Amino acid sequence: MSKINISPRISTLPLSAVRKLVPYANETKKKGVLIYHLNIGDPDIKTPEAMLKVLKQWQINPIGYAPGIGEPIFLDALLTYYHRLGQIFVKKEDLIATIGGSEAVAMALFAVTSQGDEVLVFEPFYSGYLPPAHLFGVKLVAVPTRIQDGFHLPPKKTIESKITTKTKAILFCTPGNPTGTVYTRQEMKMLVALAKKRGLFLISDEVYREFIFVNRSHVSLLEFMTQIPDQAILVDSLSKRYSLCGARLGVLLSLNKAVIKGVSIMAQGRLSGGLIDQHLAAKLIDVPHSYISAIQKEYRKRRDFLYEGLLSIPGVTMTKPEGAFYCMVSLPVKNAEQFCIWLLTHFRDNNETVMLAPGAGFYITPGQGKNEVRIAYVLKISQLKRCIQIIAQALSAYNTQVM
């Protein structure tokens, strides 16, 4: 019998930067060790009560499909959300409800590229962009940004130098994962000008829109959408905003009718997003503003605490994140992935350790990010305090051991 092989398409899929070390963590947990998870952005903040109530009082039986493009009650609520943001030009037909922002990213990439095309990303970038690009045969081309510039955009000519005849889009995220960088109005204007000049799509991932810790407001692609109606695509998600990661709720928003038509056919192809999820998410318009402002306050406190704490560790460098709930941190080690593995497999303090995401997984340029880690501050201050103690002790022990 001839040998059965799976496709190289799947066997070469890149491993998720945030989940890569999970097998080590599972082994460690089996031994009764407590692991603080700073590796993944799954918030510990409670989901709004108004949403949970829908689950507790659920009556619809049977639980059928929702329309492919989204349950009307959810689309109406999203429309209200964007109108409240001041974007009154948005219409219901510009929205597709997706299965998380992840599906919106994949659909946007599928809609604007063909196999062999290129999409610019600002490195380091969210590693979740890699799998759909790989699946569709699209090359992500890295435009480097620097830790000493707070990962803000490089000059326009640097970005332009990466554009080829195959470039179809610029995919970016503000506030950024993994960097926490919030692009300024000037930077957003530059991207819009570049898209106009070079005829590119802009795909703006704004799933952390509400998490801004600097004294300037978030500048959304929505503000420029009517200037470049055919080129702008917004990716959004409820996962982080309402602590709904497990409910899988996202949005693709575009004024380009051909994009929306194509994506709605894709959406029909996978039949439906979750009916229950969309009904509970429709309550987003009943979530009081105090819920969001309390979260903003909490994450800002955590950001400040973590920043001060990490910088007090000898050899650790970082820039203060401006938003989201992530930071890229440079550690005094040669290979941060080895250090992250060692933390899980060897290091214990009072039978506790921490799990970090190796920074190199957020770069595609070989050798970049080798001494960096990404930290998600999705734990309480008391837990972050403990994590900082553990990281400090571990670095000292690791460097003594490898010397």
Ligand X SMILES: Cc1ncc(COP(=O)(O)O)c(C=O)c1O
Binding site for ligand X (CB under 6 A): 41, 100-102, 126, 128, 173, 177, 205, 207, 237, 239, 245, 250
- Of 177 and 181, CB closest to ligand X: 177
Residues 6 or more apart whose Cβ sits within 8 Å of residue 336: 356, 358, 359, 360, 369, 370, 371, 372, 373
Q: Are 132 and 9 in contact (CB under 8 A)?
A: no
Minimum CB–partner distance for residue 353 and ligand X (Å): 23
Residue nearest ligand X by beta-carbon distance: 100
Residues 6 or more apart whose Cβ sits within 8 Å of residue 195: 170, 201, 202, 228, 231, 232
CB-based burial, 247-256: b 16+ in 10 Å, e otherwise: bbbbbbbbbb
- Of 177 and 319, CB closest to ligand X: 177
CA atoms within 13 A on the CB side of 359: 25
- Of 245 and 313, CB closest to ligand X: 245
- Of 121 and 395, CB closest to ligand X: 121
Q: Which helix (H) or strand (E) holds 139?
A: strand 139-144
Residues 6 or more apart whose Cβ sits within 8 Å of residue 305: 381, 384, 385
Identify the three-state secondary structure at position 147: helix
Minimum CB–partner distance for residue 238 and ligand X (Å): 7
User: Beta strands 326-330 and 352-355: pairing type?
Assistant: unpaired
Distance, CA of 39 to CA of 376 (rounded, Å): 6
Minimum CB–partner distance for residue 400 and ligand X (Å): 35
Minimum CB–partner distance for residue 249 and ligand X (Å): 7
Minimum CB–partner distance for residue 235 and ligand X (Å): 7
Minimum CB–partner distance for residue 207 and ligand X (Å): 5
Q: Which helix (H) or strand (E) holds 173?
A: strand 167-173
Minimum CB–partner distance for residue 131 and ligand X (Å): 11
Kindly state the DSSP code that residue 271 receives in the 8-state scheme. -
- Of 107 and 207, CB closest to ligand X: 207
Minimum CB–partner distance for residue 9 and ligand X (Å): 22
Q: Are 100 and 307 in contact (CB under 8 A)?
A: no
Distance, CA of 69 to CA of 75 (rounded, Å): 9
Identify the three-state secondary structure at position 104: helix
Residues 6 or more apart whose Cβ sits within 8 Å of residue 229: 255, 256
- Of 28 and 239, CB closest to ligand X: 239
Q: Show the DSSP H helices in 238-274 as ranges.
A: 257-269
- Of 126 and 342, CB closest to ligand X: 126
- Of 333 and 357, CB closest to ligand X: 357
Cis check: omega of the bond before 132, within 30 degrees of 0: no
Minimum CB–partner distance for residue 98 and ligand X (Å): 8
Task: Tell the residue number behind the tokens 């409910």, with chain if given.
Answer: 247
Minimum CB–partner distance for residue 2 and ligand X (Å): 39
